[in-house]
Amino acid sequence: MTEKLVPTDPSHIGGHRLLARLGAGGMGVVYLGRAESGELAAVKVILPEYADQPEFRARFRREVTAARRVDSPWVVSVTGADPDASAPWLATAFVPGPSLAETVAACGPLPSRGVRVLGRMLARALTTVHEAGLVHRDIKPGNVLLTVDGPRLIDFGIAHTTDETALTSAGVVIGTPGFLAPEQARARPASPASDVFALGCLMAYAITGRPPFGTGAVDALLYRTVHDEPDLDGVPDDTRPLLERCLAKDPDDRPTAREVDETLADERPEDAADWLPDPVVRLIADRSAAMLALPGIEATALDARAEGQPEDPHPSDVPADVVPAPSATGRRRFLLIGGAALLAAGGGGALWAAQRDDGASPAASPRVRRWVLGVQADLTGPQRAVGRGQERGIRLAVEQFNSREDKPFTLTLKAVDDRGEATRAAEVARTLAADRDLLAVIGSTGDATTGASLGGYDERLIPQLTASSAQSPYGTSDPRHFLQAVPSYTHLPATAAFSLHAQGARRVGVLVDRAGGTAAWQLGNTMFQNLGVLKIAGEPRVAPRLAEDLTPVVADMAANKPDAFVFMGTPARAAAVARALAATDFDGLRVLGHPSADKEFLSAAGAAADGWQIFAPYIDPSASPVRAFTGAYRNRYGSTPPYWAAEAYDVARMVISRLTEAGGRPSPEELFDLLVKDTYKGVVRSYTFDKKYRWLESYEVFRYEVKGGRYAYAGKVDV
């Protein structure tokens, strides 16, 4: 479906008059455009903030090259492109039909013959793709458009050649969970066989109305894709054997796209005029008719350029604290709105004073801009002990800076409480980000609240740093101004695996409790992968979220005589596992994921907690590197700092250091560049961020062991 153009949209791109919006993605906007020939086209335009980044421009250039290499009637054709333009764009033939995903949602599953015709035409499309030396890597219902004469495969945004290195980081899952192959779920390179697996998923979805590996959380989908058999109930006998071959776990056991085409040879595309049921044909006809009844072309701010007017700056180029002058095209609207506002404000002078970027009237002295550092934390919710400790650590760093006689500015701290609730986290983030004086924010405390708050700060280009949330990733698109100043869940297990290896472990049982959410999954899955790298036999088990008793699972794992036992889950279930393991004859190493290591585990496990090791990203307050901080904290607040307070203090000092180095008040974007530019040596760790992917490169990990009912600090882990 189409949407109206907005005032900031361009009016023309590459000879196309833009008529409407078709959709917006993470890196750009797709418009409906009309070429000079009169043909309609889907015009994809990269957003300005990405066009200036070489890696994104290279990715887009690769998409253009890949799409141009494929010549098939079942693949949308490229009609024009300019990846080197100031606003890179790609135009493809416009297909008015709905996607397969929309069709199944609106009309239900397709009949068996229709799915076989669909499968054969897409197999022919993939044969062309693979013969061109490409792998699509994202075959899914949303990337298949339906017309009465057959499907059309779209979106080569993440396609790559079979011999190239993809412009993505190692260990990143590429594709859509639920419609990707087991090797992609394990973050391994995709091949033509991966596309065939996805085709099998897509056909199963089309014929049953559900993905063969279910729905739900991403980690659950990836796990089921790797370990479970597909759900093919309802697939007819004439199609089921083919889908079983396509969905084989081993890529070598899958047919090629050409073999799928040959297997479905009884369904000839040229005789497939009636391949879709009547409701779907009507849906396609309605979409086509809507294109013939497009509304009048919306005027945009950029239409003025054709009349010789100066180009308005793109919104992303205008500082958030500056009110831009109205363009000629919007002057009448500005005068109408402004007149009402003037009366409401009590006169022209009042409105002018309110809109000046320095906040002062012409007769008054200019206001000195505040230098504001924000803190978002759980101050009253389930993680309030950690959140309060972090807020106090950051406040201590600010107070120490402000007490300096040579300070170049005075820093104001502004704290907000998200109560550990994701919905509230998003609300308070938007509120805090609206402060025009805010330079950066540290927070939030937990994974859910950090993820929920990302958009609020990123929209305002405010640098956001977390000292304690280690989830990776938080969503489908990476925030542009976010830094994890803590080793992520996918980096921590490497140190733990090396330590187990050094302690003599050669066979390790890994129990992942789904009740532990994303943290447990990422820690457990990465631990298993790292054990494999070290040639340690890993035996993974996954406990369902609703499992009431894990004792049988623990007993079964212990019966295999492992050298070590690893558990990733919740504190309460960790205690139950510790007690169950203590009841067996297991006497090997025990490792507990740090999210489970709290007071609840100690009290609930009792004596069974002794001997468990924890590999954590936080340092103990008694450790020598942070004794000065601990002393200052105790003097200021009258108590010993909790875990994570020193890390927050470190991050605050890093931000303050970069602000001081700026030599003047930096913009938020300038501050972000300073944060990632050089290494900062903190009291807990050195903070160095990868220049390209912005992840923390220093992985200091600290080991604890439960002794006598307490977590005894065993020092920094050296591997």
Q: What percent of the chain has pLDDT over 90?
A: 55
Higher-pLDDT residue of 485, 74:
485
In tens, the pLDDT along 209-262 reads 999 998 887 778 888 899 999 999 999 999 999 999 999 999 999 999 999 999
pLDDT over 70 at 27, yes or no: no
Confidence of residue 333 (pLDDT cuts 50, 70, 90): very low
Bridge partner residues of 41 (DSSP): 33, 93
Q: How many CB atoms lie within 10 A of CB 559?
A: 11
DSSP code of residue 472: S
What is the reported pLDDT for 46? 81
Higher pLDDT, 693 or 554: 554
- Could you tell me which of 405, 413, 446 has the C-alpha nearest to residue 656? 413
Mean pLDDT over each residue of the chain, to the nearest integer? 83
How far is residue 162's CA from residue 166's CA, in Å, rounded to a whole number? 10
pLDDT value of position 15: 87
**Tens-place pLDDT, residues 552-587:** 999 999 999 999 999 999 999 999 999 999 999 999
**Residue 495: what pLDDT?**
92
Burial class for 216, CB neighbours closer than 10 Å (0-12, 13-18, 19+): exposed
End-to-end Cα separation, the chain, in angstroms: 55
pLDDT score for 475: 61
Nearest to 19 by CA among 33, 30, 36: 33
CB 160 within 8 A of CB 66: yes
The larger pLDDT score, comparing residue 37 to residue 426, is at 426
Distance CA 686, CA 683 (A): 8
Question: pLDDT tens digits, residue range 131-153?
Answer: 888 888 889 998 999 988 889 99
- Burial of 288 by CB count in 10 Å (0-12 exposed, 13-18 middle, 19+ buried)? middle
Spatial separation of the C-alpha atoms in residues 540 and 538, rounded to whole Å: 6
Beta strand residue intervals within 176-294, DSSP E: none
Under DSSP, is residue 69 helix (H, G, I), strand (E, B) or coil? coil
How would you list the strands of the sheet with 12-13, edge to edge? 12-13, 16-24, 28-34, 40-46, 89-93, 78-82
Of 668 and 691, which is predicted with more confidence?
668
Query: Once rounded to an integer, what is the mean pLDDT over residues 414-439?
Result: 94
- Position 185 scores a pLDDT of 84
* Least confident stretch, 323-327, 472-476, 621-625: 323-327
Residue 138 is among the residues annotated as catalytic for this protein: yes
> Given a cut of 50, is residue 59 above it in pLDDT?
yes
Residue 161, strand partner residues: 134
**Tens-place pLDDT, residues 341-382:** 322 333 333 322 323 333 333 344 445 678 999 999 999 999
- pLDDT reading at 639 higher than 90: yes
pLDDT class of 294 with cuts at 50, 70, 90: low
For residue 35 the two structure tokens come to 């070429």
Cα(206)–Cα(102) distance, integer angstroms: 11
Catalytic option among 138, 378, 447, 650: 138
As to burial, measured by CB atoms within 10 angstroms (0-12 exposed, 13-18 middle, 19+ buried), residue 671 is: buried
Question: Residue 591 — pLDDT band, cuts 50, 70, 90?
Answer: very high
Listing DSSP states for 357-392 in one string gives TT---TTSPPPPPPEEEEEEE-SSSTTHHHHHHHHH
Of 49, 46, 119, 35, the closest CA to residue 78 belongs to: 35
539/567 Cα distance (integer angstroms):
12
Please, which residues have CB within 8 angstroms of residue 480's CB and are 6 or more apart in sequence?
49, 458, 461
Distance CA(252)–CA(620), nearest Å, equals: 50
**What tokens appear for 12 in the block?**
């023309």
> Which pLDDT does position 26 carry in this prediction?
56
**DSSP labels, 308-343:** TPPPPPPGGGS-TT--PPPPGGGHHHHHHHHHHHHH
Peptide bond into 473 cis (omega under 30): yes
Rounded CA separation 327/7 (Å): 11
Instruction: State the SS3 of 626-686.
Output: HHHHHHHHHHHHCCCCCCCHHHHHHHHHHHHHHHHHCCCCCCHHHHHHHHHHCCEECCCCE
Is the distance from CB of 74 to CB of 121 less than 8 angstroms?
Answer: yes
* pLDDT for residue 87: 82
Phi, psi dihedral angles at 717 (to 5 degrees)? -85, 125
What residues contact residue 671 under an 8 Å CB cut-off, 6+ apart? 439, 440, 463, 655, 658, 659, 662
Mean pLDDT of all residues in 424-449: 95
Q: What is the pLDDT of residue 426?
A: 93
* pTM value surpassing 0.75: no
- The predicted model gives 200-206 an average pLDDT of 96
Q: Which helix (H) or strand (E) holds 221?
A: helix 218-227
Domains and CATH numbers, the chain: 12-94 (3.30.200.20), 100-290 (1.10.510.10), 330-360 (no CATH), 371-487+622-688 (3.40.50.2300), 492-616+704-716 (3.40.50.2300)
pLDDT band per the 50, 70, 90 thresholds, residue 64? confident
